Amino acid sequence: MGLFDRIKRAFGGSEKETEVTQSEQKYDQGLAKSRKTFGERLNALFANFRSVDEDFFDDLEETLIGADVGFDMAVEITDELREEVKLQNVKEPTEVAQTIVQKLVDRYEQDGSNEQNAIRFASEGPTVILFVGVNGAGKTTTIGKLAHQYRQAGHKVLLAAADTFRAAATEQLQVWGERADAPVVAGKPQGDPAAVVYDAVERAKAENYDILLVDTAGRLQNKVNLMNELDKIKRVITRSIPHAPQEVLLVLDSTTGQNALIQAKEFNDTTQVTGIVLTKLDGTAKGGIVLAIRHELHIPVKLVGLGEQIDDLQDFKPNEFVYGLFKDLIKADYQIDVAASDTPDK
């Protein structure tokens, strides 16, 4: 049984009340804008539904691209639907809509078949997590929220302020450190970021910290210098702790849609990204970007921001994400709103 059928059985096949976890509620609320927009796009497509012809497939491809599922996936899903229509003789709008969503969900599951969404921790010694990404994506806020979560779980957490070139970066991280009760290792303004990281790693080892979270600069306009800087930071970490960093997490602002995908490609070309943090999912209609990232980059999403509160940073849960994005379309009794349903076919 595929992911689509499992979710349909678990969530959409019955009207009876089921127990909803706090995590499911956050995904449900956090993906409301994306879910609404995706549904509106499909409804707009089917409002002009006459028959499943080449015009329909062209419109479908544009609809999927507009929903930020990515160009490659949009083309492949459209091609697969062409074959499905021929094989199954699918004609009714509701059948076509369900087939589209099923294709998206099945492809999403296939792309993530060997994906590890959990954060990796060191078997002994401090776990080092390096955060990269352009300025404004939410790196520092993500680090602060994650530090809070780890402290609440009883871990001893240290922060490193290696974004030494942005005036407010260190101060911002120190504010988060105070909130999370996690000390911050900082250097001089405009100082060497790698030197800050070296000091932080040595302190983490000497004082038996469980987790070290490292903030870095994000000046993509100076891409060569930035990537050289990140490479130097990683070498400093590895020399002191051979198997670290355990994670290099790329923080992306999901509200930027396809621009986030471009950033991911650029960072992944020059540094070994092990996972992605998608911030501000609750404030955007571009949740489909997760499908594009999985399909085109094969980098696991590990954390998602589903709100502004300190506890709204969530571990990424693929099933809950898919249900949160498609639940209005995936229910067994779903009936798409076809405004022109009484118009004769061609």
Q: Is residue 344 part of a domain?
A: no
What strands lie across the sheet with 275-279, from one edge to the other? 184-185, 157-161, 211-215, 127-132, 247-253, 275-279, 301-305, 313-315
Are 145 and 87 within one domain?
A: no
Are 174 and 100 within one domain?
A: no
Mean pLDDT of the chain: 85
Give residue 308's pLDDT: 86
Q: Is position 282 annotated in a ligand binding site? A: yes
Q: Is position 219 annotated in a ligand binding site? A: yes
What tens digit of pLDDT does each residue of 22-38 get? Answer: 888 888 889 999 888 88
Residue bearing tokens 């980059």: 297
Are 190 and 165 within one domain?
A: yes
Are 36 and 167 within one domain?
A: no
Q: Is position 256 annotated in a ligand binding site? A: no
Question: In this predicted structure, which of 40-54, 193-207, 248-262 has the lowest mean pLDDT?
Answer: 40-54
Confidence of residue 199 (pLDDT cuts 50, 70, 90): very high
Q: Is position 133 annotated in a ligand binding site? A: yes
Are 188 and 298 within one domain?
A: yes
Give residue 331's pLDDT: 59
CB 49 within 8 A of CB 345: no
Are 228 and 162 within one domain?
A: yes
Residue 279, beta-bridge partner list:
253
Give residue 15's pLDDT: 44
Q: Is position 215 annotated in a ligand binding site? A: yes
Q: Where are the alpha helices (DSSP H) in the chain?
A: 3-7, 22-30, 32-47, 54-66, 71-88, 93-111, 139-152, 169-180, 193-206, 223-240, 258-270, 289-296, 318-330
Are 331 and 293 within one domain?
A: no
Give residue 159's pLDDT: 98
φ/ψ of residue 120, rounded to 5: -85, 135
Please report how the helices 71-88 and 93-111 are oriented relative to each other, as an axis angle in degrees rounded to 10.
Answer: 130
Q: Is position 139 annotated in a ligand binding site? A: yes
Report CA dihedral (13, 14, 17, 21) to the nearest 10 degrees. -10
Which sign does the torsion angle of CA 102, 105, 109, 111 carry? positive
Which token pair is 77?
A: 């899903």
Are 135 and 73 within one domain?
A: no
Q: Is position 216 annotated in a ligand binding site? A: yes
Are 225 and 146 within one domain?
A: yes
φ/ψ of residue 332, rounded to 5: -60, -30
Domain housing 91:
23-115+323-335
Give residue 20's pLDDT: 64
Report d(CA 257, CA 286) in Å as an integer: 6
- The mean per-residue pLDDT over the stretch 278-297 comes to 88
Which token pair is 292?
A: 């594009």
Pairing of strands 313-315, 211-215: unpaired
Report d(CA 166, CA 321) in Å as an integer: 34
What are the angstrom distances between the C-alpha of 94 and each of 75, 80, 297?
Answer: 21, 17, 32
Residue 113: pLDDT over 60: yes
Q: Is position 205 annotated in a ligand binding site? A: no
CB 236 within 8 A of CB 197: yes
Residue 86 belongs to domain with CATH number: 1.20.120.140
Are 110 and 168 within one domain?
A: no
Q: Is residue 215 part of a domain?
A: yes
- What's the predicted TM-score (pTM) here? 0.86
Q: Is position 192 annotated in a ligand binding site? A: no
Residue 332: pLDDT over 50: no
What tens digit of pLDDT does each residue of 237-263 get? Answer: 999 999 999 999 999 999 888 888 888
Residue 276 belongs to domain with CATH number: 3.40.50.300
- The mean per-residue pLDDT over the stretch 50-79 comes to 88
Residue 67: pLDDT over 80: yes
Q: Is position 30 annotated in a ligand binding site? A: no
Q: Is residue 180 part of a domain?
A: yes
Give residue 21's pLDDT: 78
Q: Is position 218 annotated in a ligand binding site? A: yes
